[in-house]
Chains A and B, each alone.
Chain A
Amino acid sequence: MGTSLESAADEAERLRRCLNDLVSIMALPALWAGREPSQIVSTLLDTLRGMLRLTFVFARLPDPEGGPPTELVRMAEAAGGAAAARQISGSIDSSLGDAPAKWPSSARVVIGDADLSVASARLGIDGEIGIIVAGSHRLNFPDETERLLLDVAANQAAVGLQEARLLSEQTRRANESERQSRLIVDSIPGLVALLSPTGYIEMVNRPLLEYFGQTLEELRQWGTNGTVHPEDLPHVVEVFTRSITSGTPYEIVQRLRREDGIYRWIQNSGFPLRDTKGQIARWCVLLTDIDDRKRAEAALRQAYGHLAEAQRLSKTGSFITDLLADRRDWSEEAFRIFEFEPTTSITLHTIRGLVHPEDLPAYDAAYERAIEGVGFDMAFRIITSAGNLKHLHAVGHVMEEISGRPVFIGAIQDVTESKVAEEALNRVRSELTHVARVTTLSTLTASIAHEVNQPLSGIITNAGTCLRMLDANPPNIDGARETARRTIRDGNRASEVVTRLRALFSKKEFTPEPLDLNEATREVVTLSLSELQRNRMIVQSEFADDLPSISGDRVQLQQVVLNLLRNASDAMVGVHDRPRQLLIRTKREDPDRVRLTVRDAGIGLDRQTMDKLFDAFYTTKSDGMGIGLSISRSIIEKHGGRLWGEPNDGPGATFSFSIPCCARSVADAESAVKTS
């Protein structure tokens, strides 16, 4: 009875303990909420080891992904390490087989040198979650209560692990998704921030953090920490607040302080991200550093400003033009020069309409050549719609060809002021030249007069004295003879003066050298071209390719050419009813002669006065000295050649000279002068 009482008390105690243990096990899931599977298993094993006084307790959880299973072990003595787990795992496997699902619920297993009673409990219906193996030295392990506790615990653990797995899967997915978005956001080269619907910065990407060199917490103080340039802050706050309040996107260009402390221009764009119900879930903010662009724009604006200013100052417009398509790209100044409204569509017709009538032939000619792809460099006048006369200088060259059509790039300059100045200068210069010529002549005549008058005076005085001496009573014969002798001497002296003068005039430095008449002529044409063009002459040159070199005085021959060009130009000044054509031509005449002709379309020659043309002091011009042609002829004759003029069949005259190309000696040339 005592034994039964005793065992009844024991039994009660055993039941009470069992209930406590059950309660403890039932309470476990509350501890497991939100824990990792390994933590769950750990607490489970700890609880079972203590509760069932186990020698060891082992759990094996297969990896859902198919990897090696997770194994944990708790030993009576101490927490089992990985090595203990491996030893127990290996012993169990070798004793019970390698398929845990087929392990018996209880068995005896030798682990190390111990012979143990083991009980297994599957986690999950088919042990798919894992298995727990508990071992004890006790031979009766597990008793009924122990089996119950083990099964209940395994059940609880299975449920707990199931939930944990589910949770961890969700968390993992959520984390993965977060990680992916993060990755995407961070790899955006732009600066991105996500804001709450109220404008609180929730998240920024890595480039943004690095750009500003601030933590997220610091960035949230953007309104007060100087990140926004103080000058921009009021505007930024206003726009941002309005946008957040109204839910409309914003775009601000502002300065923000980079991590190096430098404020840079940033384009700040914000737009709301809405959820399925259309509510604003977040704001997305993109910051773009446009400082370099802004600087480039400013530099470009400045450069353009300078260019425009330079064009205005120099009164030079630039243009790109496709003549055939009549498409033009003109600078502002070009519009200003022509006095076109900037909105005007300019056609070739409108420009040509402004060209001065006298310049139209030259303009058209240049245009015709330009269509062929020949560059141009020309001066012409325009009369603007307001009636202003302008002198323009246009230069253009082919920039490219678009479908076979030349596209010109060029500049057009308003040279009116310099032209007017140049004309004034030319007037002064020609007046000066005239004054100088008159001065020279008067000096010359004075000295000639002095030289000649001196002996003439002597002749008259002596002759008078002589007569008086002869008339005296008695006549002073000796005195008369002496004065007569002096008279003869002075006469000779006068004659010498004349000879000396002639020598002075005819004995110009004559320095023959081999020369290319084409080249010498071209130089003269080049030098005279602007003056000729100023007088609206259309100058054409035809130089023979086969011209032999001649021997002559370059400067003197150039003076002749210049004189002929001047005469031609002077003859055409009064011509208004036809082009002022001036043709200068060289050609090989005989095998050993070259000829140069200058043909004009001027007033022409009168056959009757032709012979006088070459007389000194004969002129058909009101302001001429008439000395040019006579000097020219003497120069040509000195070169062993001849100079002549003849009327054209049409209007105008042609003057020519012809000289031998092979050098003749100066003596020959001079004898030619004397015989002519």
Chain B
Amino acid sequence: MTVRRSLVSIVDDDESVRESLPDLIRQLGFDVEAFASAEAFLASEFVNDTRCLVLDIAMPGMSGTDLQRELASRRETIPIVFITAGGDRTVRRRLLAEGAVECLFKPFSETALLDALNAALRMG
């Protein structure tokens, strides 16, 4: 029988992230879908199945935080792990206060990512 693995969706405009991160997350034992924009994710069929959203903050068009708010307004309670390349460490506190599970600053370690994903799945 096929064990159905939890789906982690990645939304990041950076192509290298969409290339590399899914492989790692798959290696960690999850199913993965990657999207280049928040709009693409919302339009996809995976929104309901997504157990954890790995979300870039700064993106052209709808930003990560915009997507967080949009999901909240749709009463979608997908646990979110933010990832950011920005240097501003103060955003973490704010994002967590708004319900995010974690905020990882690039470059982040495998362990940090795994801990965050596990925490998210526990919540879901």
Contacts and interface: CB of A to CB of B under 8 A. Distances in A.
A446 B88 CA distance: 7
Chain B contact-residue range equals: 20 to 34
Interface string A443-479: 0011011110111111111101100110010000001
A453 B56 CA distance: 13
A469 B105 CA distance: 24
Contacts of B110: 464
A468 B20 contact: no
B61 interface: no
Interface stretch (B1-9, B11-19, B42-50, B62-70): B11-19
Contacts of A460: 107-109
B28 to A, nearest CB: 8
A472 B20 CA distance: 17
Contacts of B83: 457
Interface in B83-124: 83, 85-88, 105-110
B72 interface: no
Contacts of A315: none
Contacts of A449: 85-87
Interface string B16-55: 1101110110011000000000000000000000000000
A479 B107 contact: no
A462 B86 contact: no
Given A446-B88, A450-B85, A450-B86, 10 more contacts: A451-B85, A453-B85, A453-B87, A454-B106, A457-B83, A457-B106, A458-B19, A461-B21, A462-B20, A479-B23
Given A449-B85, A458-B17, A468 B24 contact: yes
Given A458-B16, A486-B16, A453 B106 contact: yes
Contact of A453 (B21, B27, B105): B105
A465 B25 CA distance: 8
A21 interface: no
Looking at chain A's contact residues, the main secondary structure is helix
A206 interface: no
Interface of A: 442, 445-446, 448-451, 453-462, 464-465, 468-469, 472, 479, 483, 486, 489-490, 493
A87 B106 CA distance: 156
B121 to A, nearest CB: 19
Nearest to B28: A468
Contacts of A459: 107
B16 A493 contact: yes
23 contacts: A446-B86, A446-B88, A449-B86, A453-B85, A453-B105, A453-B107, A454-B16, A457-B106, A457-B107, A458-B20, A460-B107, A460-B108, A462-B20, A462-B23, A464-B109, A465-B27, A468-B27, A469-B23, A469-B27, A483-B20, A486-B20, A490-B16, A493-B16
Contacts of B58: 450
Interface of B: 14, 16-17, 19-21, 23-24, 27-28, 58, 83, 85-88, 105-110
B10 to A, nearest CB: 11
A455 B20 CA distance: 11
A465 to B, nearest CB: 4
Nearest to A452: B85
A448 B87 CA distance: 9
A566 B106 CA distance: 40
Given A454-B106, A456-B107, A465 B87 contact: no
A55 B85 CA distance: 160
Contacts of A493: 16
B3 to A, nearest CB: 17
B19 to A, nearest CB: 6
A454 B20 contact: no
Contacts of A469: 23, 27
B12 to A, nearest CB: 10
Contacts of B28: 468
A486 B19 contact: yes
Contacts of B19: 458, 486
Contacts of A457: 17, 83, 85, 106-108
A456 B87 CA distance: 13
Contacts of B24: 461-462, 464-465, 468
Nearest to A479: B23
A114 B88 CA distance: 159
Nearest to A451: B85
A489 B19 CA distance: 12
Looking at A450, A459, A486, which has the most chain B CB atoms within 10 Å of its CB?
A450
Contacts of A453: 85-87, 105-107
B23 A454 contact: no
A17 to B, nearest CB: 160
A312 B84 CA distance: 64
Contacts of B20: 458, 461-462, 465, 483, 486, 490
Nearest to B23: A465
A500 B60 CA distance: 22
Contact of B87 (A450, A468, A479, A489): A450
A497 to B, nearest CB: 11
A483 B21 CA distance: 10
Contact of A446 (B14, B87, B106): B87
Contacts of A442: 88
Nearest to B58: A450
Contacts of B17: 454, 457-458, 461
A609 B104 CA distance: 41
Nearest to A446: B87
Contacts of B23: 462, 465, 469, 479, 483
A381 B2 CA distance: 90
B58 to A, nearest CB: 8
3 closest cross-chain pairs (CB), A and B: A449-B87, A457-B106, A457-B107
A456 B106 contact: yes
Contacts of B88: 442, 446
Contacts of A455: 16
Contacts of A483: 20, 23
Contacts of B107: 453, 456-457, 459-461
Contacts of B109: 460, 464
Contacts of A446: 86-88
B20 to A, nearest CB: 4
Nearest to B88: A446
Contacts of B27: 465, 468-469, 472
B85 to A, nearest CB: 4
Contacts of B14: 454
B40 to A, nearest CB: 20
A556 B77 CA distance: 56
Nearest to B105: A453
Given A465-B23, A469-B27, A479-B23, A454 B85 contact: yes
A229 B28 CA distance: 116
Contacts of A479: 23
Nearest to A493: B16
Nearest to A458: B16
Contacts of B16: 454-455, 458, 486, 489-490, 493
A448 B88 CA distance: 12
A442 B89 CA distance: 12
